[in-house]
A and B are shown apart, each in its own frame.
Chain A
């Protein structure tokens, strides 16, 4: 089926391509509602505001829609709530019930594609030629990554055994195993492991030869053993000549692992394996994590909660407790590798969720490379994409089993964020990078995170039919740079040793309240420093230019000189420019928590806004933020005043000094 055919078939699902007079409700204030037209296309829901001056638009990818809900009719019509996987919540009010129902049915179907071909990445067609697209898939090279680690070497090599994905169809084609291991041992071990996921290398520490290996659980049941599997572990241990034992880390709670024994699975018996130290870590399973995040999302989406509601909600979600347990597992492994020089085998049940989290967190702690932009991309490509983290299932790309969905990669990204909070100078990237990755893991905009394994992606010709996200992020790397990054210190720091006291784990507002702009600092330290750094670079160039000119002038004083005064004068203003846009700022609904009752008491409400900001994302998420942030202006008025004598006339809001005074002016 070609893309055009898919497109046409999707068009069939659209019962209602266009609805007029739809209200888009701003959740932070019911009075900032916008009226406009709602369009449904094969790939996006589009809302175009009617405002005469600025035609604000809202684009929502169908693949980002998590669920669509109809609410009880209100006085303006029929509310439709759309929850997105990137935590955006959109509320439309549609005048006619039948229209609302049609949009609901269409969107519900469009947001639950049944076939991969329906996903946006197959129709997304930026203006690049075939060669360029293919090139985009060569941006990251895992072979180069292994050789960066120092592999292959005399102890480790690539085995060709899984080239056709016959031994393990969820593993990548190329896998590193100890050289001393024979093919029968690998095959024997793979038969003794869930889904054939035999122990294989994830990270190699050049300095002391310790490794992080990963696998699935052994099929040990209550007493079964497998000689080849035991030999496999022995070989891994011996490939680290400096150590006399190795750790086997089961990331599950002990109870869960024991329960698996009854099903013929389980964990390693220390008596059967030579020189292993076995350790349970106790990270909960995907179902617990899904429920936990659901609760967290509910808390984050509360409208003007009290402090108690928020904190208790955060606690009851258990989310930060889970983040802490994943972090602690990563710390345990990274310490074993860096401080004890001992190799670690990590597994959970299938070895593609908790194992991926823990291996990658440990890698970030161990290796400064993964704290660079390119390094994090490589790490995700290696530990998650290539090792068969089931993105399609976990992210719910296709309509299917709801029980398979789980925010496993969200938790990894959050662990990295928590580390960035503790080590502000040791990461090349900033949190926008993590949020961007998060968005695209779910957006199905690019092919990287489609399917559940490398084999599936190959079968689906992902590289031939879609584009890769990584070059796109790399092109925008200026936005993702951490101005405080100190590469030398990060390099020389050695192992990161984060603190794990409960108060070190914080609520990630920038992710969970990403679209609630009023909740974030009105001035951004990050943006300010990035601008200063940019200006500094231009100054350095100017300085070099001037020094050169001065030298020339000294030599040939008689000659006339061209001066480019304008260049620098225009740069002088740079310093203040990002501040201006972020300053525009309106008061919140400060009386929200007020307990009424007295006759003299009334409520203060947020005034109408001149222009509601809308977020346009998809192709150009950046421009929308920048364009809209400085347009915000507003007035407060006392809504219950019937007389109107004291409410401010609308022209006052135009003259509002908060919106049109341009703040500091240095020029």
Chain B
């Protein structure tokens, strides 16, 4: 077993664990291949089980022979371990460092995890493109499922099955793919049942400096327009950034070649900038000492809230074009795997009530993130405590979840799930016992044999026992389009993630419990009253015809 070599000291006694807002625990620290465990061997005291994969970075400090390791986790938690003995401390630290930065995906915990529950509904089979297409077919016959990417050669980051306009053949798709960054030709993202308008997504067109064009690409997206109708291309980049992209072979749709389309540029930041923002934000949240002024400055300087605002605004714009303007929309940025997906998935939450249910939201994440080729493995390799220069890490998915939370705050009765569901998804995207978020694309996941070798997150989440704590007690299905406010006054800091470990949640938990209680008690009474009423009615019929007053 490879792990044994990395574990220099498997256990140390007399280790003291410090966590904010919790009593310190003294116990034995054990390192296994995938976990850091601290057990006090006393009843009723909580043990710490921490996935190595959850560790973002560590710091060592020594006072005499007492060593201290500060463990900073990807879920933003910071814990402190006091370890007696300098050598033990150094060993533990280097083991943690090695185990938390394993290069090989197949050594990750999901490949070793065996569920302690029976898998009733296999999450890997839950959201297949064929099923989604069946739904589409029931609404329109304008689209077909293409197998052009069967072997992932046309576009390595796309799934094997793609929904494209019926009249466009595979050959044209291949040509359009060669005109788009990474082969990501325009595909269907969402069909708006109410008016038949669609949202498509792609990567940037490869126009380059000499204004290359591709007839097939033009034909492909024009095929989605009704006669005489115009569509909108939402480029998630500013016009300046899009112009610069030309020099590197990228670009944007020239109006001359796409006469039926209007292009709108927005300003969603690139992913490396987002990562810096996350680091700054978390630094500000963890700094307990500073004054009011410094807090607001730092919050502002992180640009996090600005990013939330910009992403939400763009998604609202896309939704507005579709629902209010009755026009189809094509969304893309540069690669079409980050800001593009933020926009298309959020627009669906705004437009489609199905996406606001638990199953619907899971399906959305499968469709618009996992199958659409968001590189989770790369983006979530490091979180806010990464020391080194960021490579391709970026909190793209976290920002999406933050935006969903903002909409949830504004429409607290319109979502079947609650905040905990979003926080759980954040945690599992960064470190998990489940295989769902491993790999960067469908092709990679197939190669890793994830569906055979690991358990799907959905297999676990969808069990009634687990689901219960993710249900929103206030939920009332709402079939309307929900338009959030994107004004700075309306957007809040997501405390449930960013201040989660810096505050006591006693009072907030109490409030949540009270809310659940109020609603459950109401339902209980309703049932009681109904059953009594039935009982009364029954007695009456037994006792003869009802005498009306």
Please list the residues of chain A having a beta carbon within 8 angstroms of any beta carbon in chain B.
300, 304-312, 314-315, 318, 320-321, 324, 422-426, 483-484, 486, 489, 499, 501-507, 509, 512-513, 516, 518-525, 528-529, 532-533, 535-536, 539-540, 542-543, 546-547, 549-550, 553, 557-558, 560-563, 565, 568, 575-576, 579, 583, 585-588, 590-591, 593-595, 597-602, 604, 607, 635-638, 646, 648, 657-658, 661, 663-664
Contacts and interface: CB of A to CB of B under 8 A. Distances in A.
Given A513-B489, A590-B317, A601-B264, A550 B474 contact: no
Given A315-B296, A522-B410, A591 B263 contact: no
A637 B320 CA distance: 9
A646 B325 contact: yes
Interface stretch (B94-102, B163-171, B285-293, B383-391): B285-293
A500 B513 CA distance: 25
Contacts of B230: 646
Nearest to B324: A636
A553 B262 CA distance: 73
B413 A579 contact: yes
B154 to A, nearest CB: 29
A519 B518 contact: no
Contacts of B264: 591, 594, 601
Given A486-B514, A513-B489, A315 B262 contact: no
B349 to A, nearest CB: 14
Contact of B263 (A305, A600, A604): A600
Given A312-B300, A560-B543, A595-B267, A547 B532 contact: yes
Nearest to B293: A315
B518 A483 contact: yes
Interface string B294-321: 1111011001011001100110110111
Contact of A519 (B295, B320, B489): B489
A29 to B, nearest CB: 12
Contact of B547 (A521, A557, A560, A602): A560
Given A422-B507, A501-B503, 15 more contacts: A321-B291, A503-B495, A513-B489, A519-B490, A520-B490, A532-B522, A533-B518, A533-B522, A550-B535, A561-B547, A595-B238, A648-B325, A657-B194, A664-B476, A664-B478
A549 B487 CA distance: 55
B537 A563 contact: yes
A12 to B, nearest CB: 42
Interface string B508-549: 101100110011011001101100110111011001101101
A310 B489 contact: yes
Interface of B: 194, 229-230, 238-239, 255, 262-267, 285, 288, 290-297, 299-300, 303, 305-306, 309-310, 313-314, 316-317, 319-321, 324-327, 409-414, 474, 476-493, 495, 499, 502-504, 507-508, 510-511, 514-515, 518-519, 521-522, 525-526, 528-529, 532-533, 535-537, 539-540, 543-544, 546-547, 549
A523 B294 CA distance: 33
Contact of A307 (B294, B306, B478, B522): B306
A428 to B, nearest CB: 13
Nearest to A554: B539
A318 to B, nearest CB: 7
B296 A550 contact: no
A525 B481 CA distance: 19
A601 B265 CA distance: 8
Contacts of A568: 529, 533
Most A-side CB within 10 Å, residue of B229, B487, B515: B487
28 contacts: A307-B303, A307-B309, A311-B305, A311-B488, A315-B292, A321-B291, A324-B292, A484-B514, A502-B296, A518-B485, A519-B489, A523-B411, A529-B474, A529-B515, A550-B536, A553-B543, A560-B546, A563-B540, A565-B533, A587-B483, A588-B316, A590-B486, A591-B313, A593-B313, A598-B263, A604-B325, A638-B325, A658-B480
Contacts of B409: 521
Given A425-B511, A588-B316, A598-B265, A664 B412 contact: no
Contacts of A597: 239
Contacts of B314: 590
A422 B194 CA distance: 42
Nearest to A497: B504
A484 B483 contact: no
Given A553-B539, A560-B547, A536 B507 contact: no
B468 to A, nearest CB: 20
Q: 10 shortest A-B CB distances, which residue pairs?
A: A502-B295, A310-B488, A636-B324, A315-B296, A424-B511, A307-B306, A321-B292, A311-B300, A539-B525, A546-B532
Contacts of A535: 522
A521 B411 contact: yes
Contacts of B521: 536
B327 to A, nearest CB: 8
B305 to A, nearest CB: 5
